[in-house]
């Protein structure tokens, strides 16, 4: 049975829809990714309010984990609504599409009993990841490692694919249907090969020709499959659905703190993750945007390079968070660094993204027992100077200002009724609410486990 209170909250927003026309709500992560957005998106989609869900940025470097009815699916490129049979799935023009991952995920979903082909629509203006992009990514990361500027990319070719688009030599998804596609691909391939050879000659990067040949064969086979899918002018389709009075949910990948313009450059992802990019990544005007849902964990995690001011210094405690919260990347398997809830960063992320409703996930994960204090970061310092604004580069931060509040151990796992929430977690949530009071946001639900219904409602 679906959660009625949450449904009413979403539906109350649906009432202010635009004169019978539909609108678009957005879900974004407010930290450095892995906030558990997949679960919230899946929950939001289960109330019959949205007819479709859209990816608007990023590529197969995202990793959404959805658990429903005993089934687990880790999606990288297919939108999170895939486990709900009536929801249309959209991949927007802002997305870089890895054909091999896409086809593989479609097969996995088929094995789980979900044939998404009839309800999956891909923008002809989406960008195509070529089979050499991941190799270029690796070469770039290899070069950065040597010069100790490692970013920690997922090596899936996302950055190089976006670079090619900006340099106006990339391939669009709709190109696969053109008669001269082979020629276009060959031009790009030659350029990539020259680039890889440069890394080889100048920086001793080893090119694994056998692996490239294998990737090439897989990629061309996937492209043939891609041609059979519904490739369309997605902007037109989405606008048509809105005109029919249908509502759509746009799902962010990565998170606000990884935005290429507003994150800690260059330790960022290669696309704009802010809700503002929904308009450009789907081809819709800003006037159709309504609720912006932000997702945070009760603590913070981060992967990749760059400073992480809120990181827990006690290594054993950090490991306890990692183990209890299964903090290992869905895409890469890398352990995530764990930190205290960073309210200074969270406030910044809320201000940048215009979030009005918040989900707090993983409130069941707290390796600090009742009576013992945990920390919350409320400010950053550069030596003795307290920073008034979020810093230009995070490495300016030399220490953090913290406050302490009691932990609650594992006492809230699986709680679905807010009357059963432990006193300590209740105090923590009220504390967060007070700290965000001036930002006009509501904490609408709090996650207590992996399953879709492992959450309780909070503010009305
Ligand atoms: P996303 O990229 O933001 O969707 O994050 P992931 O899909 O990587 O989610 C991280 C993990 O957290 C997944 O395994 C989820 O099942 C899990 N998760 C989500 N919400 C909760 C929660 O409230 N408690 C616990 N323990 N796990 C959660």
Do 199 and 80 lie in a common domain?
no
Task: Decide: residue 384, CB within 10 A, 0-12 exposed, 13-18 middle, 19+ buried.
Answer: exposed
Domain residue limits at 197: 128-226
Residue 76 in contact with ligand 1 by CB distance below 6 A: no
Peptide bond into 183 cis (omega under 30): no
Ligand 1 centroid – CA 126 distance (Å)? 27
75 CA from centroid of ligand 1 (Å): 13
CA of 311 to the centre of ligand 1 (A): 19
Residues 218 and 71 in one domain: no
Q: What is the C-alpha to C-alpha distance for residues 277 and 441, in angstroms, rounded to an integer?
A: 21
Q: How far is CA 148 from the centre of its chain?
A: 26
CATH number at residue 452: 3.90.170.10
**Do 86 and 47 form a contact (C-beta atoms < 8 A)?**
no
Ligand 1 in reach of 406 Cβ (< 6 A): no
Nearest to 265 by CA among 231, 307, 215: 307
Residue among 77, 455, 440 at smallest CA distance from 291: 440
Q: Please identify, by atom number, the ligand 1 atom nearest to the C-alpha of residue 63.
A: 2
Read off φ and ψ for residue 431, nearest 5 degrees: -65, -45
The best mutation among 34, 35, 39, 71 to test binding of ligand 1, ranked by most ligand atoms within 8 Å of the C-beta, falls on 39
- Residues constituting the chain: 460
Dist CA 72 CA 89 (whole Å): 18
Residue 12 forms part of a structural domain: no
Looking at the fold, whether 392 and 270 belong to one and the same domain comes out as no
**CA 130 – CA 98 distance, rounded (Å):** 7
Model pLDDT, residue 316: 96
| Alpha carbon of 409 to ligand 1 centroid (Å) | 18
Q: Write down the pTM of the prediction.
A: 0.92
Cα angle for residues 449, 452, 454 (degrees, 5° grid): 35
Inside any domain, residue 11? no
Cα 327 to ligand 1 centre (Å) = 9
Q: Please pick, among 34, 42, 137, 259, the residue that the annotation labels catalytic.
A: 34
CA–centroid distance, residue 189 to ligand 1 (Å): 38
155 lines ligand 1 (CB under 6 A): no
DSSP summary character for residue 437: G
Task: State the closest ligand 1 atom to the C-alpha of 38, by its place in the atom list counted from 1.
Answer: 4
For ligand 1, whether the C-beta of 450 sits within 6 Å is yes
Provide DSSP, 103-122.
HHHHHHHHHTT---GGGEEE
User: Residues 106, 108, 110, 115: is their CA dihedral positive or negative?
Assistant: negative
User: What are the beta bridge partners of residue 67?
Assistant: 72
Pairing of strands 373-382, 385-386: antiparallel
CATH number, domain containing residue 60 = 3.40.440.10
Same domain, 281 and 337: no
Q: How far is the CA of 229 from the centre of ligand 1 (A)?
A: 30
Q: How far apart are CA 458 and CA 284, in angstroms?
A: 32
Single out the residue in 207, 226, 245 at which a domain terminates. Answer: 226
pLDDT at 217: 97
The answer, yes or no, to whether any atom of ligand 1 lies below 6 A from the CB of 306, is no
Q: Which of 64, 133, 192, 348 is catalytic?
A: 64
- Determine, yes or no, domain membership for 9: no
User: Is 146 domain-assigned?
Assistant: yes
In angstroms, rounded to a whole number, what is the distance separating the alpha carbons of residues 136 and 138? 5
With respect to residue 10, please indicate whether it lies within any of the assigned structural domains: no
Residue 447 beta carbon below 6 angstroms from any ligand 1 atom: yes
Residue 2 covered by a domain: no
Which residues are CB-contacts of 137 (< 8 A; sequence separation ≥ 6)? 153, 155, 156, 157, 158, 159, 160
39 pocket-lining for ligand 1 (C-beta < 6 Å): yes
Atom 28 (ligand 1) nearest CA: 450
Distance from residue 447's CA to the centre of ligand 1 (Å):
9
CA distances from 96 to 82, 185, 251, 378, 459 (A): 19, 16, 15, 36, 37
Of 241, 263, 294, which residue is a domain's last?
294
pLDDT tens string for the chain (460 positions)? 467 777 776 665 554 556 679 999 999 999 999 999 988 998 899 899 999 999 999 998 777 777 766 778 888 899 988 888 889 999 999 999 999 999 999 999 999 889 999 999 999 999 999 999 999 988 888 777 776 666 666 678 899 999 999 999 999 999 999 999 999 999 999 999 998 888 888 877 787 889 999 999 999 999 999 999 999 999 999 999 999 999 999 999 999 999 999 999 999 999 999 999 999 999 999 999 999 999 999 999 999 889 999 999 999 999 999 999 999 876 667 789 999 999 999 999 999 999 999 999 999 999 999 999 999 999 999 999 999 999 999 999 999 999 999 999 999 999 999 999 999 999 999 999 999 999 999 999 999 999 888 999 998 8
> Residue 406 has which token pair?
């009691």
Residue 192 is among the residues annotated as catalytic for this protein: no
Torsion of the alpha carbons at 454, 456, 457 and 459, rounded to the nearest 10: -130
Task: Give yes or no: residues 353 and 423 share one domain.
Answer: yes
Residue 28, classed as helix, strand or coil, is strand
Token pair for residue 312?
């827990």
Q: Is residue 8 included in any domain, yes or no?
A: no
Query: Is residue 408, in this structure, part of any structural domain at all?
Result: yes
448 Cα nearest atom in ligand 1: 23
Asked whether residue 71 falls in the same domain as residue 213, the answer is no
- The separation between the first and the last C-alpha atoms of the chain, rounded to the nearest angstrom, is 20
Residue 67's nearest CA partner among 45, 43, 44 is: 43
With a 6 A CB cut-off, is 35 part of the ligand 1 pocket?
A: yes
Q: Give residue 283's pLDDT.
A: 98
Residues 199 and 216 in one domain: yes
Task: Tell me the DSSP string of 280-294.
Answer: HHHT--GGGEEEEEE
Domain end among 252, 272, 294: 294
Report d(CA 453, CA 439) in Å as an integer. 28
Residue 65 CA: which ligand 1 atom is closest? 7
Report the distance separating Cα 117 and Cα 242, nearest Å.
22
Query: What is the phi-psi region of residue 364: left when phi exceeds 0, alpha when psi lies from -120 to 50, beta otherwise?
Result: alpha
For residue 74 and ligand 1, the question of a CB distance below 6 A is answered with no
The domain total for the chain is: 3
Helix axes 423-435, 343-353, angle to 10 degrees: 50
Residues 176, 124: Cα–Cα separation, whole Å = 9
Ligand 1 near 58 CB (within 6 A): no
**Residues 186 and 172 both lie in one domain:** yes
Residues 105 and 31 in one domain: yes
Residues 276 and 301 in one domain: no
Q: How far apart are CA 334 and CA 382, in angstroms?
A: 30
- Same domain, yes or no: 56 and 137: no
Is there a single domain that holds both residue 162 and residue 136? yes
Q: In this predicted structure, what is the pLDDT of residue 1?
A: 47
64 is catalytic: yes
């Amino acid at each position: 049975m679906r959660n009625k209170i949450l449904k009413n909250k979403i539906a109350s927003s649906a009432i202010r829809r635009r004169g019978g026309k539909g609108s678009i709500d957005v879900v974004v992560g407010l930290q450095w990714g892995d906030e558990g957005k997949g679960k919230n998106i899946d929950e939001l989609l289960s109330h019959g309010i949205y007819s479709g869900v859209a990816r608007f940025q990023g590529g197969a470097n995202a990793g959404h984990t959805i658990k429903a009815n005993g089934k687990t699916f880790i999606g990288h490129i297919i939108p999170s609504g895939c486990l709900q049979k009536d929801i249309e799935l959209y991949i927007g023009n802002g997305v870089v599409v890895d054909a091999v991952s896409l086809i593989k995920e479609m097969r996995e979903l088929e094995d789980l009993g979900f044939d998404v082909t009839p309800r999956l629509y891909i923008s002809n203006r989406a960008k195509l990841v070529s089979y050499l992009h991941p190799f270029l990514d690796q070469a770039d990361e290899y070069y950065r490692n040597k010069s100790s500027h490692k970013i920690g990319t997922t090596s899936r070719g996302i950055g190089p694919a976006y670079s090619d688009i900006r340099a106006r030599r990339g391939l669009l998804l709709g190109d696969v249907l053109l008669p001269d596609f082979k020629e276009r691909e060959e031009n790009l391939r030659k350029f990539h090969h020259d680039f890889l050879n440069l890394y080889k000659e100048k920086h001793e990067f080893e090119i694994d020709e056998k692996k490239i040949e294998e990737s090439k064969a897989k990629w061309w086979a996937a492209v043939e499959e891609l041609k059979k899918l519904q490739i369309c002018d997605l902007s037109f389709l989405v606008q048509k659905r809105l005109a029919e009075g249908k509502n759509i949910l746009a799902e962010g990948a990565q998170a606000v703190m990884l935005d290429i313009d507003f994150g800690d450059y260059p330790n960022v992802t290669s696309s704009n993750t802010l809700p503002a990019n929904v308009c450009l990544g789907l081809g819709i005007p800003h006037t159709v945007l309504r609720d912006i849902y932000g997702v945070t964990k009760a603590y913070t995690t981060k992967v990749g390079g760059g400073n992480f001011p809120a990181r827990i210094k006690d290594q054993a405690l950090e490991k306890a968070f990692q183990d209890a919260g299964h903090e290992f990347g869905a895409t890469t398997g890398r352990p995530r660094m764990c930190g205290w809830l960073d309210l200074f960063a969270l406030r910044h992320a809320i201000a940048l993204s215009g979030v009005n409703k918040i989900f707090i996930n993983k409130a069941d994960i707290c390796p600090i027992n009742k009576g013992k204090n945990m920390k919350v970061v409320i400010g950053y310092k550069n030596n003795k100077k307290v920073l008034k604004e979020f810093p230009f580069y995070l490495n300016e931060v030399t220490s953090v200002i913290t406050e302490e509040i009691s932990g609650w151990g594992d006492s809230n796992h699986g709680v679905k009724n807010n009357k059963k929430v432990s006193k300590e977690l209740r105090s923590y949530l009220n504390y967060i609410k007070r700290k965000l009071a001036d930002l006009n946001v509501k904490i609408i639900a709090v996650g207590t486990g992996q399953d879709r219904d492992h959450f309780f409602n909070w503010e009305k």
